[in-house]
Amino acid sequence: MKVSEILANSQKAYPSIEIVPPLRGITKNELLESIAPFMEFSPKYINVTSHRDEYEFRQEEDGTFSRHLLRNRINETTVCAAIMSRYDVEVVPHLICGGSTAEEIESRLDNLEFLGISNIVALRGDSMTGEKRFTATPGGYRYASELVEGIRKYQGSPGYQRKRKIEKENGNEQSDRYFCIGVGAYPEKHFEAPNIETDILNLKKKVDAGADYIITQMFFDNQVYYDFVDRCRAAGIDIPIIPGLKPISTARQIAMLPESFSLDIPVELTEAIGKAGDDRKAVYDIGTEWCIMQCRDLIRKGVPAVHFYTMGKSENITRILRECF
Ligand code: FAD
């Protein structure tokens, strides 16, 4: 089922789970076991992030440069196929502009359609390590809005087109949109945007290009999300905006998350974690409790779903799900 249909038919808020594909070396069984704790909550779908391979150039003794693969993850489509082989759950692969031409992206869409996957989150992706700004691949997309446009032009395989023709002939034509598309948004502004107003205008371009719903970057103060939703509505963005949450699990994240994701952490949370000092369990509990508080408040205020950035952790997320859903 498409996420847009799930959102339209859902009577109450549901949890949306995002996982990161494993680095090569992890077996399929290990991956599936790591997801098992979430299955207790019958998630409606699982998002799988997408990552570019990272390379480094090393100078050889003869002065030439050679390219070395530093880090590569199992790709999102393969992870989705593995999840579908074990669990009866929808999967939502992320698709990024970075590193691919438009043609290569089209061929990935063919692979997704072949697997029966009709949900995608379309993103630009970040710059490569060592690059100051994101650089589009020649023949690729510069912005997520262009990617959304490209996905909307996708006609589907001959098999899919035949199916649509038969539906049309029988008078039960389904939507001509094969893919349901989610896009990202930043309640505290994307770090490259000059101001929040411009960023929201750019978000509107993704909506106008055909996005079905929005998932926000993580935030730690719900008021930031509520204000952002108000601004989006005022700008004419009327599709669902799913809030994204991540529980803090280590003291280091108090410095690392603002730097990596360009967001604020409230003083109260920063001080509580500061007071816990080296007590790792206390820090973990404070981060989890804060997220429970945020999640309960969002549900009370009527959000359609809450998206969780699990980042390889399941214990804190399952605790939150048990408390809130
Ligand atoms: P865009 O919407 O293209 O925006 C990027 C910047 O360009 C913004 O500053 C925007 O204001 C500006 N902009 C947009 N359109 C225009 C235009 N037409 N003219 C001028 N400026 C414009 N990264 C990954 O690598 N893999 C993932 O799986 C992944 N999953 C994510 C999931 C979510 C829910 C979110 C919120 C982020 C995710 N990211 C992921 C991170 C994301 O790729 C980065 O934040 C990236 O820097 C921006 O992606 P975007 O799709 O929001 O880009």
CATH code for the domain defined by 3-324 = 3.20.20.220
Per-residue pLDDT reduced to its tens digit, 25-65: 899 999 999 999 999 999 999 999 999 887 777 888 888 87
Q: Which residue has the tokens 């603002």?
A: 258
- Is residue 71 predicted with pLDDT exceeding 70? no
Domain boundaries defined on the chain: 3-324
Atom of ligand 1 nearest to the CA of 244: 34
Which of the listed residues 134, 143, 214 should we mutate to test ligand 1's pocket, taking the one with most ligand atoms within 8 A of CB? 143
**Ligand 1 contact, 123 CB (< 6 A):** yes
- The protein residue with its alpha carbon nearest to ligand 1, atom 41, reads 125
Per-residue pLDDT reduced to its tens digit, 178-219: 899 999 999 999 999 999 999 999 999 999 999 999 999 999
Picking from 220, 217, 216, 218, the residue whose alpha carbon sits closest to that of residue 273 is 220
Could you give the angle at which helices 102-115 and 76-86 cross, rounded to 10 degrees?
A: 0
pTM: 0.94
Which of the listed residues 123, 201, 311 should we mutate to test ligand 1's pocket, taking the one with most ligand atoms within 8 A of CB? 123
User: Buried (b) or exposed (e) across 193-210, using 16+ Cβ within 10 A?
Assistant: beebeebbebbbbbbebb
The answer to whether the CB of 120 falls within 8 A of the CB of 75 is: no
Distance (angstroms) between ligand 1 centre and the Cα of 194 equals 14
**Ligand 1 contact, 231 CB (< 6 A):** no
pLDDT of residue 59: 80
- Is residue 176 predicted with pLDDT exceeding 70? no
pLDDT of residue 225: 98
Percent of the chain with pLDDT over 90: 80
Distance (angstroms) between ligand 1 centre and the Cα of 104 equals 19
Distance (angstroms) between ligand 1 centre and the Cα of 145 equals 9
**Ligand 1 contact, 126 CB (< 6 A):** yes
Distance (angstroms) between ligand 1 centre and the Cα of 59 equals 33
For residue 31, the tally of other CB atoms under 10 A from its CB is 18
Q: Which two tokens stand for residue 159?
A: 């098999």
Per-residue pLDDT reduced to its tens digit, 81-103: 999 999 999 999 999 999 999 99
Q: Which helix (H) or strand (E) holds 92?
A: strand 90-96
Which of the listed residues 148, 202, 217 should we mutate to test ligand 1's pocket, taking the one with most ligand atoms within 8 A of CB? 202
Q: Which helix (H) or strand (E) holds 119?
A: strand 119-123
**Ligand 1 contact, 217 CB (< 6 A):** yes
Picking from 207, 266, 271, the residue whose alpha carbon sits closest to that of residue 241 is 207
Over range 99-123, report the average pLDDT.
95
pLDDT of residue 303: 98
Helix locations, 90-248, DSSP H: 102-115, 144-153, 158-169, 196-208, 222-234
Q: From CA 291, how far away is CA 298, in angstroms rounded?
A: 10
**Ligand 1 contact, 54 CB (< 6 A):** no
**Ligand 1 contact, 202 CB (< 6 A):** yes
Over range 247-262, report the average pLDDT.
96
Over range 294-311, report the average pLDDT.
97
pLDDT of residue 76: 95
Mean confidence (pLDDT) of the chain: 93
**Ligand 1 contact, 72 CB (< 6 A):** no
Q: Catalytic residue numbers?
A: 18
